[in-house]
A and B are shown apart, each in its own frame.
Chain A
Amino acid sequence: MMSVIVLTLILFIGSYFAGLLGSLTGLGGGFVIIPLLTLVLHVDIHYAIGASLVSVIATSSGSAAAYVKEGITNIRLGMFLEIATTAGAMVGALIAVYIPTNFIAILFGIILITSAIMSLRKKAELINQEKSPLAEKLKLNSSFPTPNGPVNYSVKNVGGGFFMMGFAGIISGLLGIGSGALKVLAMDTIMRIPFKVSTTTSNFMIGVTAAASAVVYLQRGYIDPGLSMPVAIGVLLGALSGSKILVHTNSSGWLRWVFAVVVSFLAVQMIYNGFIGKI
């Protein structure tokens, strides 16, 4: 039992570090917020999902503003794939009510481990020039600015990427996370989009995807103002600090490892507590 002011302070500090780590590693803050709320502070997982979703919208919109201005984000590609992610998010939020909370905890753990492993993998930058008729029809091929002038790229496997985005949307709606790792996977691995473009475009899409499920959660009473306030402010400030640090340092290799270990530990805890029915 703790007072509102103590809980708010703990949440604010915890969320700040969650946002900082999430932005440095590219995994997003939700991955730490939900275990912090449920495992450490014994908050019901529905409230945790609601608060996390709010913080996801804040960080995504905040950082998307900067990226869009730089002209790296592929807005048409983002817009087209948002059909899949928003539809998925709506489905995820609607079925969340019928899924037992311990199953949600286990699923969360599995997605968490998968994302942590994916964040460690080496990124080979390949610029795809192969033309796909569907990508051309949808005007998805574009270019992005580099110090040596704009680089043109083409998009592959539009259908496969679209399908994967639908899945990312369902996970996002179900668990209250941005599922940025799944979105980047769809764009990097399946659609062969350059890394810089896929990260910024994924981030651009996360806000509207989360909003599509947040409108459901808001009406279901999952989004509690007392919890969401310190979480949203903390994660956003943490993410802003993270993006400042990222500009100055390039060697975040060891940090990724530290984060992957922490995240895997949290994931195992979530899965374990899910199995014994404590969540």
Chain B
Amino acid sequence: MQAVIGWILRLGVLLSMSVIFIGGVIYLYRHGQVIADYHTFKGVPDFVHNTRGILNGIITFRGRAIIQAGIILLIATPIIRVIFSAIGFILEQDYLYIGITLLVLLIITASMLSGHAG
């Protein structure tokens, strides 16, 4: 199980970083000369804020949408690791740790939903 977990983490980081890099190159090519303004908090543009916007942005080669997809992939990496840990504990028939792992997944899901409400 340790080998699988190591492999998932490595693959997730490699894949998401490549996506972020590709998006970054496109973003800098198209917007490199624009004046950057992060002085006041305004959130993020709509096309990188929701799933539909990001998907649309990827199809139309918008750099920031591709970066954001890479970031979501990166955030998903440790969560996918937890899911695989659960599978590992199921194979070992370790019921206590199946429960503990599911509880962690439940907390992350709750966090995901509470962010949406706020």
Q: Which residues of A contact B (CB under 8 A)?
A: 1-8, 41-44, 46-47, 54, 57-58, 60-62, 64-66, 68-69, 71, 73, 75-76, 79-80, 82-83, 86-87, 89-90, 93-94, 97, 138-139, 207-208, 210-230, 232-233, 236
Smallest CB–CB gap between A176 and chain B, Å?
13
Smallest CB–CB gap between B79 and chain A, Å?
5
Contact B27 A226 (CB under 8 A): yes
Q: Which residues of B contact A (CB under 8 A)?
A: 1-3, 5-7, 9-10, 12-13, 16-17, 20-21, 23-24, 27-28, 31-44, 48-49, 63-65, 67-68, 71-72, 74-79, 81-82, 85, 94, 96-97, 100-101, 103-104, 107-108, 110-112, 114-116, 118
The 9 closest A-B pairs by CB, nearest first: A221-B43, A216-B115, A207-B78, A225-B67, A5-B32, A90-B111, A65-B9, A219-B115, A208-B78
Contact A208 B81 (CB under 8 A): yes
> CB < 8 Å: which of A1, A58, A79, A221 contacts B85?
A79
| Nearest residue, chain B, Cβ from A80 | B100
Contacts of B81 in A (CB 8 A): 61, 207-208
CA separation between A43 and B36, bound complex, in Å? 10
Contacts of B116 in A (CB 8 A): 219
> CB < 8 Å: which of A3, A87, A139 contacts B96?
A139
**Known pairs A57-B75, A61-B78, A73-B2. 19 more at Cβ < 8 A?**
A3-B35, A4-B34, A42-B38, A44-B41, A61-B81, A65-B9, A75-B1, A79-B85, A83-B103, A87-B107, A207-B78, A207-B81, A208-B78, A215-B75, A215-B108, A216-B111, A216-B112, A224-B38, A236-B17
CA separation between A5 and B24, bound complex, in Å? 10
CA separation between A255 and B114, bound complex, in Å? 42
